């Protein structure tokens, strides 16, 4: 099986031509990441992804992680993962996005997105460990005390210690108000944590010296619901004053889940305060204020949601590479047009070609959309102008549920097509195509299901602000549409399809604004179809921008075959994806009542 190869050409195109990497590299603090440096970072990341992470993807899937009862419950990673992780942190990758103050590289989100995409494509199970650590670092950077930062951040940034997020409990999944884990304050200012958490990614493993658990729990006097949840840091091993590791804390992985995919990633049931190491309770310290835990978690969660969108992108790219390689090499049947002699590779068959183009065009649209949102994220943090920062932040807030929801749902469709391209071989595990489908399946669920994303999109991100930001995006898309329509041929046709897509979005936004609040349930039936529509149209917008750049390059005499291919890929996207827009709008606008009307017992 061929290893993953980072799609550097398209990545550079998106970074430079669509997401303005040079502009980002002019923002304060990002000055070193322009041109050559960006290229060097991507090259090194590509090499590491192909050479170290990718070869462990299949073997990790087969070997899975191993839970052992020793030491109160521990996890052993699949062969090769410990060594790969050591190489990963030795090369300094773990701190790629972290503050240089704690030893991080401080990469712009834009460049970080490309780097993350590679790791996720190469080995999703592996990539989740640094992803969780990054989230924990971010939460501590933003909300931790100076003592907590000094104690944890240097080792976490370096990667000697990893991080986790402990939110879910059996009765508290999407509804965090139902959390029951308890935190009892002690005379010394620490807390004792009691409770069980489930679905804890990398809750235990043998790749790092320590694991820093961030845990949501309730203090004794906390108000009910989400307003009574606090955030605690609970290390696996307590940390002595001199920074050395102390006693084993009462936080154990008591079992692991048997999952459909990401087999090499430990998904743990964590017990806090059950073993009684210290006479009851795991020892933790409060992060920030009491009862403000959810707010801190949501800061992490937004970054995590964006990253899960990138997981979708990574899997989609890899599934495409795998299917394309097979389609090129598998010879079966004759050319239906009769133009080619003898038997041909299946990549020549129209339906296989259609599937490959669906995979390719959507993956490119996903990449362009995700990276452009990452660039806005950088501008929101670093732009010198406050108004520009606010606008970019609003753009990011609007787009995060789209990136999370649309990229992951589409990745599942793409991985599904990848199996189909392989025919019968796709169903055989040794082929490898099925793993992408199994691995992708979690991405529409964790960090908030697609339904949760879609409700966030129509409620908090659109209705609550009267659609201000989405209308700005619509205006930007209309400008691209106008540019496209000024051209002829393919480009004009793309502009026309984009125009119909934008009109569909406008119709839905008006519907959402009119109905949300008065008849929220009916409007909410259309939330996921609307999220899909937003994804398709915003992806089409980016593909339209890409086609305009390609057209300009061709007009300037650039003979690179990449540019005509980009234009025809954008045209395919218009014919096969943007064509769905009007139907989706119809479902959003009309489809609410019939979903709710049926009597529950008649389901």
* Beta carbon of residue 374, minimum distance to its own copies (angstroms, whole number): 26
Binding mask 368-407 for its own copies (x = CB under 8 A): ----------------------------------------
Neighbours of 471 (CB within 10 A): 15
Q: What whole-number distance in Å separates Cα of residue 214 and Cα of residue 286?
A: 10
Return d(Cα 413, Cα 580) in angstroms, integer: 15
438 binds its own copies (CB under 8 A): yes
Residue 258 sits in the site that holds its own copies (CB under 8 A): yes
Instruction: Choose among 77, 76, 38, 71: nearest CA to 59.
Output: 77
**Torsional sign, CA 138, 144, 146, 148:** negative
HSE-CB of 358 using CA atoms within 13 angstroms: 20
What is the end-to-end Cα distance of the chain in Å, rounded? 45
Nearest CB to its own copies, comparing residues 121 and 238: 121
Closer Cβ to its own copies, 38 or 585, answer by number: 585
- For tokens 């964006």, the residue is 306
Q: How far apart are CA 398 and CA 465, in angstroms?
A: 11
Among 2, 177, 247, 552, binds its own copies (CB under 8 A): 177
Query: Binding its own copies by CB under 8 A: which of 430, 488, 557, 559?
Result: 430
What residues numbered 187-246 form the site for its own copies, per CB under 8 A? 198-199
465 annotated active-site: no
Per-residue interface string for the shown chain with its own copies, residues 112-151, x marking contact by CB under 8 A: ----------------------------------------
Our finding on whether 70 is near its own copies (CB under 8 A) is no
Q: Return the H-helix or E-strand segment holding 331.
A: strand 331-334
What is the contact mask toward its own copies in residues 578 to 597, using x (rule: CB under 8 A)? -xxxxxx-xx--xxx-xxxx
Residue 216 main-chain phi, psi, to 5 deg: -90, 130
Distance CA 93, CA 85 (A): 10
Q: Shortest gap between Cβ of 506 and its own copies (angstroms)?
A: 17
* Shortest distance in whole angstroms from residue 138 CB to its own copies: 23
- Distances from the Cα of 149 to the Cα of 68, 139, 185, 302, angstroms: 32, 10, 21, 21
Binding characters for its own copies, 503-542, by CB under 8 A (x = yes): -----------------xxx-xx-xxx-------------
Give the DSSP letter of residue 144.
-
Site for its own copies in 12-51 (CB under 8 A): none
Q: Which of 83, 447, 465, 601 is catalytic?
A: 447
In this complex, which beta carbon is closest to its own copies, that of residue 486 or of residue 590? Answer: 590
Contact with its own copies (CB under 8 A): which of 35, 243, 350, 384? 350
Given a contact cutoff of 8 angstroms between Cβ atoms, the answer to whether 411 and 442 are in contact is no
Q: Per CB under 8 A, does 362 bind its own copies?
A: no
Nearer to its own copies, 223 or 333 (CB): 333
Question: Which one-letter DSSP state was computed for residue 291?
Answer: T
Instruction: Please say which residue, 22 or 175, places its beta carbon nearer to its own copies.
Output: 175
**Distance in angstroms (rounded) separating the CA atoms of residues 280 and 210:** 21
- Per CB under 8 A, the segment of 102-110, 155-163, 340-348, 507-515 that binds its own copies is 340-348
Residues binding its own copies: number (CB under 8 A): 99
CA distance 396 to 382: 14
Minimum Å distance from CB 562 to its own copies? 7
Of 123 and 168, the one with the shorter C-beta distance to its own copies is 168
Q: Determine the Cα–Cα distance for residues 414 and 161; give it in Å rounded to an integer.
A: 35
Min separation Cβ 394 and its own copies, Å:
25
Residue 376 to residue 520: CA distance in whole angstroms: 30
Least Cβ distance, residue 332 to its own copies (angstroms): 5
| C-alpha–C-alpha distance, residues 189 and 195, integer Å | 20
Between 259 and 389, whose beta carbon lies closer to its own copies?
259
287 phi, psi to nearest 5 deg: -100, 125
Smallest separation, CB 111 to its own copies (Å): 26
Among 88, 191, 326, 572, binds its own copies (CB under 8 A): 572
Does 416 contact its own copies by CB under 8 A?
Answer: yes
Question: Do 277 and 250 touch, CB atoms closer than 8 A?
Answer: yes
CA distances from 506 to 398, 581, 582 (A): 15, 11, 11
Give bridge partners of residue 172 from the DSSP assignment: 169
Helix axes 55-63, 433-440, angle to 10 degrees: 70
Per CB under 8 A, which region of 140-148, 306-314, 327-335, 542-550 contacts its own copies?
327-335
> Taking CB under 8 A as the rule, does residue 432 contact its own copies?
no
Is residue 336 at the binding interface for its own copies, with CB under 8 A as the rule?
A: yes
Our measurement of the distance from residue 526's CA atom to the centroid of its chain's CA atoms, rounded to an integer in Å, reads: 23
Site for its own copies contains 97 (CB under 8 A): no
Smaller CB separation from its own copies, 183 or 527? 527
Rounded to whole angstroms, how far apart are CA atoms 398 and 506? 15
Q: Which stretch binds its own copies (CB under 8 A): 29-37, 150-158, 255-263, 386-394?
A: 255-263
Helix (H) or strand (E) holding 182: strand 182-185
Of 386 and 602, nearer to its own copies (C-beta) is 602
Site map for its own copies, 451-490, x if CB under 8 A?
A: x--xx----------------------------------x
- What residues are annotated to the active site? 447
């Amino acid at each position: 099986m061929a290893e993953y190869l980072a799609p550097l050409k398209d990545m550079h195109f998106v970074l430079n031509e669509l997401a303005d990497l040079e502009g980002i590299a002019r923002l304060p603090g990002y000055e070193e990441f322009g041109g050559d440096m960006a290229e060097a970072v991507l090259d090194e990341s590509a090499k590491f992804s192909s050479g170290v992470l990718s070869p462990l993807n299949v073997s990790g899937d087969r070997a899975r992680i191993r839970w052992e009862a020793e030491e109160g419950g521990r996890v052993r990673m699949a062969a090769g993962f410990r060594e790969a992780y050591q190489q990963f942190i030795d090369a300094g990758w773990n701190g790629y996005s972290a503050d240089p103050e704690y030893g991080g590289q401080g990469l712009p989100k834009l460049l970080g997105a490309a780097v993350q995409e590679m790791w996720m494509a190469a080995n999703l199970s592996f990539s989740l460990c640094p992803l969780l650590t990054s989230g924990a670092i971010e939460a501590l950077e933003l909300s931790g005390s100076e003592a907590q930062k000094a104690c944890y951040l240097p080792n976490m940034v370096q990667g000697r210690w990893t991080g986790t997020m402990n939110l879910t409990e059996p009765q508290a999944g999407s509804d965090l108000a139902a959390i029951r884990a308890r935190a009892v304050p002690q005379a010394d200012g620490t807390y004792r944590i009691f409770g069980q958490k489930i679905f804890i990614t990398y809750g235990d493993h043998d790749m790092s010296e320590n694991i820093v658990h961030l845990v949501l729990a309730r203090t004794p006097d906390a108000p009910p619901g989400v307003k009574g949840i606090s955030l605690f840091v609970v290390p696996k091993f307590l940390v002595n004053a001199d920074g050395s590791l102390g006693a084993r804390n009462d936080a154990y992985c008591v079992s692991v889940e048997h999952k459909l995919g990401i087999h090499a990633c430990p998904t743990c049931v964590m017990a806090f305060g059950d073993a009684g190491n210290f006479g009851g309770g795991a020892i933790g310290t409060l992060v920030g204020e009491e009862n403000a835990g959810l707010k801190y978690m949501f800061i992490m969660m937004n970054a995590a949601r964006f990253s899960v969108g990138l997981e979708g992108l990574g899997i989609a790219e890899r599934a495409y590479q795998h299917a394309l390689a097979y389609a090129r090499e598998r010879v079966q049947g004759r050319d239906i047009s009769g133009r080619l002699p003898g038997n041909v590779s299946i990549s020549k068959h129209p339906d296989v070609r259609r599937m490959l183009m669906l995979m390719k065009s959507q993956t490119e649209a996903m990449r362009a959309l995700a990276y452009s949102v990452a660039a806005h994220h950088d501008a929101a943090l670093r732009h010198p102008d406050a108004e520009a920062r606010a606008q970019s932040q609003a753009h990011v807030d609007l787009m995060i549920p789209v990136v999370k929801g649309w990229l992951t749902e589409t990745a599942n469709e793409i991985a599904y097509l990848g199996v189909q391209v392989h025919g019968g071989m796709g169903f055989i595990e040794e082929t490898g195509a099925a793993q992408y489908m199994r691995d992708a399946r979690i991405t529409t669920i964790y960090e908030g299901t697609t339904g949760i994303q879609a409700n966030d999109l129509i409620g908090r991100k659109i209705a609550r602000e009267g659609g201000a930001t989405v209308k700005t995006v619509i205006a930007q898309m209309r400008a691209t549409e106008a540019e496209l329509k000024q051209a002829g041929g393919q480009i004009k046709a793309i502009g026309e399809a984009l125009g119909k897509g934008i009109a569909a979005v406008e119709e839905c936004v008006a519907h959402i604004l009119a109905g949300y609040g008065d008849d929220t349930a009916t409007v909410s039936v259309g939330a996921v179809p609307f999220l899909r529509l937003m994804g398709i149209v915003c992806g089409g917008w980016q593909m339209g921008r890409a086609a305009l750049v390609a057209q300009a390059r061709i007009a300037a005499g650039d003979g690179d075959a990449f540019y005509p291919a980009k234009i025809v890929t954008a045209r395919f996207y218009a014919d096969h994806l943007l064509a769905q827009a009007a139907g989706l709008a119809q479902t959003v606008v009309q489809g609410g009542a019939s979903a709710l009307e049926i009597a529950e017992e008649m389901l």
